[in-house]
Amino acid sequence: MTHFSDTRSLYSRLEQALLCREVEGKLRLTERLRRDWRAGALARLDAPAAYPLAEAGRPERPELVHPARVPRRSLSSRQGHGALLHAIAHIEFNAVNLALDAAWRFRELPDAFVDDWLRVAAEEAGHFRLLQARLADLDFRYGDFPAHDGLWAMTRKTDQDPLARMALVPRVLEARGLDVTPGIQRRLAAIGDAVSVAALDIILRDEVGHVRIGNHWFCELCRQRGLEPQATFRRLLEEHAMQLHRGDYNLPAREAAGFFDDELAALARLSEPPVDA
């Protein structure tokens, strides 16, 4: 239940969408919120301060479990095919909440920040709709498979500081989506699922823009605070016990998303096969 209600208030409408537990209702509220903001129908009226949010609005299903308990299934079965698409859909649903929370929580930032994150929220809702349709083609629904809460857990950890949020959600967690999507597309192409591959083309294109938005605001906040961005990013990784591991990195997508040349060079080294001792 929202803490206050005024249909002209950006924050009232954001809170309504963020806390909505019904899937279709959240998507509609998010998409309408973006349209009304762009049309100038919403104002940043005085509102109660943002508060710690243990959980954003979500349906009772899927069951949330520890990441290690999310079953891994072969794509050779319909269940495995559905489970993979469901996992991506769950990420996109969480991403709607992440973007809404950024616009709702960090009220000291300018209208351009709000505009960026409402755009992200609406595009994430569109991504979820694409994957929801693919699940329906396989006779599954969102909620039919267990999922984990890793993305929202990082939102809770960074709810006091937009700099930390921009560093650790777009620049780490969402950027990993840029890295893993081409491999997922290859797996789906191998079983003949060209429709899902095409949907992921749309999602990857948009996600480059979302990570670029996060990079922009991270660098802007560093500038405002007189901080060097790359040193600040490394410090935040260390403070939150996060590491960049060896593996495949989508360097062209990360470059398009605004990562620094030094970072891309370091990621290129992490992409190389290890040299045997």
Helix (H, G, I), strand (E, B) or coil at 166: helix
Phi and psi at 194, nearest 5°, equal -70, -25
**Residue extents of the structural domains in the chain:** 84-94+124-271
pLDDT, tens digit, for every residue of 82-115?
Answer: 999 999 999 999 999 999 999 999 999 999 999 9
Burial class, 117, CB count within 10 angstroms (exposed 0-12 / middle 13-18 / buried 19+) = buried
pLDDT of residue 68: 73
Confidence of residue 3 (pLDDT cuts 50, 70, 90): low
Helices marked H in 140-271 — which ranges?
150-157, 162-168, 175-190, 194-225, 229-239, 251-256, 261-271
* pLDDT for 272 beyond 90: no
pLDDT, tens digit, for every residue of 151-167?
Answer: 888 899 999 999 999 99
pLDDT of residue 72: 77
pLDDT, tens digit, for every residue of 27-77?
Answer: 999 999 999 999 999 999 877 889 988 889 999 999 988 777 777 778 989
Cβ count near 248 (within 10 Å): 12
Entry pTM: 0.94
pLDDT of residue 276: 54
Residue with tokens 């991403």: 95
| Percent of the chain with pLDDT strictly greater than 70 | 97
Mean pLDDT of the region 121-140:
98
CA 161 to chain centre: 17
| Percent of the chain with pLDDT strictly greater than 90 | 81
